[in-house]
Amino acid sequence: MEEARSGDTVRVHYRLKFEDAEEYESTFGEDPIEFKLGQGEVIEGFEDAVAGMKPGEEKTVEIPPEKAYGQHREDLVFEVDAKDFPVDLKPEVGKKLQIQHSEGRSTVVTVTGVSESNVTLDANHPLAGKDLTFDIELVEIV
């Protein structure tokens, strides 16, 4: 039976859990995801886990932050003056916002703190700094 290798397009089911076994998301019961191995379309640790699997094979892998979304970086947490927010936008903790950079790119940030004078924003990926556990099933090599 053929093993998945770099350059192959694969379809996989996954269940993402945290260390405490809390499920974050899953494709089981839905359509599997499809991606091409070796193209960086998914996090490095996930891609490494799928490489070498055979269709129908299942495994559980633990992926450290370094092979997932990186460590949480304090330099990506910053405060802005509450007066700089549009009047019709009420910042609330947990709310996701898209900010525009002067060079035209945009970044999604999460509101992590709100005071009368400042709003704290975090530009880290929500899963940065977390050890991730994936249950993976290779459905097929396309």
Per-residue confidence (pLDDT) for residue 14, from 0 to 100: 98
Range from 22-36, 41-55, 86-100, 121-135 carrying the lowest mean pLDDT: 86-100
Per-residue confidence (pLDDT) for residue 99, from 0 to 100: 87
Residue 32: CA atoms inside 13 Å, Cβ hemisphere, count?
18
Asked if 138 and 5 count as a contact pair (C-beta separation under 8 A), the reply is no
- In this structure, how many other beta carbons lie within 10 angstroms of the beta carbon of residue 74? 9
Q: How far is CA 142 from the centre of its chain?
A: 24
Per-residue confidence (pLDDT) for residue 112, from 0 to 100: 96
Count of positions (residues) in the chain? 142
Residue 18 confidence (pLDDT) above 90:
no
Asked if 2 and 54 count as a contact pair (C-beta separation under 8 A), the reply is yes
pLDDT interval class at 117 (50, 70, 90): very high
Domain annotation for the chain: domains and CATH numbers: 9-70+127-141 (3.10.50.40), 74-122 (2.40.10.330)
Bridge partners for 67 per DSSP:
none
Q: State the alpha helices, DSSP H only, in the chain.
A: 44-50
Segment 44-101, tens digit of pLDDT:
999 999 999 999 999 999 999 999 999 999 999 999 999 988 888 889 999 999 988 8
Residue 137 confidence (pLDDT) above 90:
yes
Contacts of 23 (CB under 8 A, 6+ apart): 15, 16, 17
* pLDDT (mean) for 121-136: 95
pLDDT interval class at 22 (50, 70, 90): confident
